[in-house]
């Protein structure tokens, strides 16, 4: 299985901050990388697919980049509704696997 | 917009079989563009993919669960179902059903999710 490792595991930031979350794959996955946002008690929501494609309806302050083994999710200016847990997921091969999550908390 | 809803027992005894159904509404499960999947999340932990099914009945499972899992589809009811046998406390989790959609060049992602249902394995 491809292991997905996110860093940091948790992060404290303030409204308006620029935040970057990193996801590293244990082998190359080209651009087969998705990002999800999950709030407590809710299902995950797709933010970014194929590493850098913003899902329709997702605010433009979210962006993704990377290819191969290293990927980033950037939030350019944190809003109160962005405090949540973020997961990366590889869709390169089976089984698809998720990172362990990055919990973004209010400072 | 298409919606997914999980249903089934919230409590299952150890060694028994967990059975859940996902009902698809405001859309057809028989679309050729989508697969339908199950993902679970133990309390306070991360996400684990269980398996997918196509409307034709073709399935794909996580090797870590393959010996205990089966997913089936009922196109007449617009539903797909999960069975997990010989459950233990380690199978306690929120179980989500989700739609797997494709973009260009075979990129795919889970774009719609059910609300999830907590299944506790306990005697």
Nearest CA in chain A to B6: A43
Q: Cβ contacts (< 8 Å) between B49 and chain A: which residues?
A: 95-98
pLDDT tens-digit profile, chain A (107 residues): 999 999 999 999 999 999 999 999 999 999 999 999 999 999 999 999 999 999 999 999 999 999 999 999 999 999 999 999 999 999 999 999 999 999 999 88
Cβ pair A36:B116 closer than 8 A:
no
Cβ pair B111:A42 closer than 8 A:
no
Q: Cβ contacts (< 8 Å) between B53 and chain A: which residues?
A: none
Q: Does B1 touch chain A (CB under 8 A)?
A: no
Catalogue the E-assigned strands of A8-101. 10-13, 19-25, 33-38, 45-49, 53-54, 62-67, 70-75, 85-90, 97-98
A67-101: string of b/e by CB count within 10 Å (b at 16+)?
A: eebebbbebeebeeebbbbbbbbbbbeebbbbbbb
Residues paired with residue B21 on neighbouring β-strands, in sequence order: B7, B81
Query: What does the alpha-carbon distance between residue B112 and residue B98 come to, in Å, rounded to a whole number?
Result: 6
């Amino acid at each position: 299985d491809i292991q997905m490792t996110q860093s940091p595991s948790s992060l404290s930031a303030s409204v308006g901050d620029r935040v970057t979350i990193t996801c590293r794959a244990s082998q190359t996955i080209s651009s087969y990388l998705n990002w999800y946002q999950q709030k407590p008690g809710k299902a995950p929501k797709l933010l970014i697919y194929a590493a850098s494609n913003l899902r329709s309806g997702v605010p433009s302050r979210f962006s993704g980049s990377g290819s191969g083994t290293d990927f980033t999710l950037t939030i350019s200016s944190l809003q109160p509704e962005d405090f949540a847990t973020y997961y990366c997921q590889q869709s390169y091969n089976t089984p698809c696997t998720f990172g362990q999550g990055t919990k973004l908390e209010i400072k | 917009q298409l919606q997914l809803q999980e249903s089934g027992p919230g409590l299952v005894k150890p060694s028994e079989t967990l059975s859940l159904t996902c009902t698809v509404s405001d859309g057809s499960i028989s679309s050729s563009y989508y697969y339908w999947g199950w993902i679970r999340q133990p309390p306070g932990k991360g996400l684990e993919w269980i398996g997918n099914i196509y409307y034709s009945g073709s399935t794909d499972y996580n090797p870590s669960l393959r010996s205990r899992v089966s997913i089936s589809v009922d196109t007449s009811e617009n539903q797909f179902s999960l069975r997990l046998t010989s459950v233990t406390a380690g199978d306690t989790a929120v179980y989500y059903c989700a739609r797997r959609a494709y973009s260009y060049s075979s990129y795919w992602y889970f774009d719609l999710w059910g609300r999830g249902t907590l299944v506790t394995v306990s005697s």
